[in-house]
Amino acid sequence: MDNKEILEILDGNDLHKKREIIYYISTNRCKEFMNELVKRIQVETNIQIKEQMLLTIKELYCEEKLELILSLLNSEDVFSRNGAIDIINSHSIENYDLLRQTIKKQNKDVRKFLIDSLDGNLRDEVTEILLERLKNDEDLNVKIRIVEILGENSFETSVNDIEEILMTEKNTMLICAGLEALWKIGESSRYKEILSKHYEDFENPFLVHSLLKYTSILDDYTVFKAIDKVINNFEITLFISEIINALENTTEKIPKEIVEKLKNAEENIGDSIIHYKILKLIYRNECPGVVRKKALKMIKEKEYMIKLAGIELLKDSGNSEDLKALNNLSMEIKREEIQEAIYDAFKSIKGKSV
């Protein structure tokens, strides 16, 4: 069978013959037909044939055909674009000059497709190309995707560049991506400085969500100051989970204004787990005697999470007189979390009386 006949079959409507000829090209490794397959996969309408073509293109791929595969990123056919990304992602790239030039001259959408395709190819040379684009690219989505990839792959060499962006950038989405990337890499010496800088600006709720996520590395005073800004600029229930998580990582006494806001929120939130966490935070500030009285009332409540919060509060505030109440509760409720909390409270209270 000559080349002309093969091309006629590829252009024809007989699906059975197409499948056979593509199989022939694949098994005989006919690399001379790779260009033809790349042309035809973009216009082929049968998905099974497209899949077979893509599989054959993958099998025939070599570094010399990188430019051909890169051309598919310009295709209007989504299947072909995704196929090109998959091929580039699964093969080692050595032609860095071609990669650098291609990524420069493509439009923003193709640049993003190409960057996506490099996620599995992050050698030092490729990372260098990504960092060049991070500094020079004009498209925000391209920059965000680069930062995400660098964070997901924990590239320590990118830390300084991401830090510089976070110290000067105004766009919320890029700031959030940068904070997440540095958190994943875990090697930033300026992370506290960067967080503190952005805590001065709480106009955008997306940024608030991101900032509150990373408070565990900050001192308690900075955390309280940040939360105070949040509750004075937004309805507290919008960020209640993030605020609770941030406060749980502090050890200092929670400021009165924040406690009052938490009390108001606790009355209006139906989520029992949130309710439980707020109760623990509210009474963390009180003297042991006050906490003990409240805890003894809480363990008599019907709601399970309030009982659990009461038991955990008794762990630190209770005394030997409360062991009977805990024992009765242990006989009444057999849920594992309750039993474990009672056991811990028993140990703590008995330890104090020794």
Comparing 19 with 115, the larger pLDDT belongs to: 19
Q: One-letter amino acid identity for 201?
A: D
pLDDT at 353: 61
Question: Do both 277 and 311 map to the same domain?
Answer: no
Q: How far apart, in Å, are the Cα atoms of 19 and each of 16, 46, 146?
A: 5, 11, 39
Q: Which alpha helices (DSSP H) does 234-319 contain, by range?
A: 240-248, 256-268, 272-284, 288-298, 304-317
pLDDT at 121: 64
3-state secondary structure 48-65: HHHHHHHHHHHHHCCHHH
Question: Do both 276 and 213 map to the same domain?
Answer: yes
Question: Do both 269 and 339 map to the same domain?
Answer: no
| Pair of tokens at residue 280 | 């623990």
pLDDT higher than 80, residue 269: no
Could you tell me if residue 145 is inside a domain? no
- The pLDDT confidence band at residue 193, using thresholds 50, 70 and 90, is confident
Could you tell me if residue 85 is inside a domain? no
pLDDT higher than 90, residue 56: yes
Could you tell me if residue 69 is inside a domain? no
Comparing 166 with 197, the larger pLDDT belongs to: 166
pTM, entire model: 0.63
pLDDT at 213: 80
Separation between Cα atoms, residue 179 and residue 177, nearest integer Å? 6
pLDDT digits (tens, 9 = 90+) for 123-162: 777 788 888 888 888 889 989 999 998 888 877 888 888 8
Domain of residue 350 covers: 299-354
Question: Do both 213 and 268 map to the same domain?
Answer: yes
| Pair of tokens at residue 327 | 């024992």
Work out the percent of the chain whose per-residue pLDDT is above 90.
Answer: 14
Question: Do both 270 and 308 map to the same domain?
Answer: no
Structural domain tally of the chain?
Answer: 2
pLDDT at 120: 67
Could you tell me if residue 19 is inside a domain? no
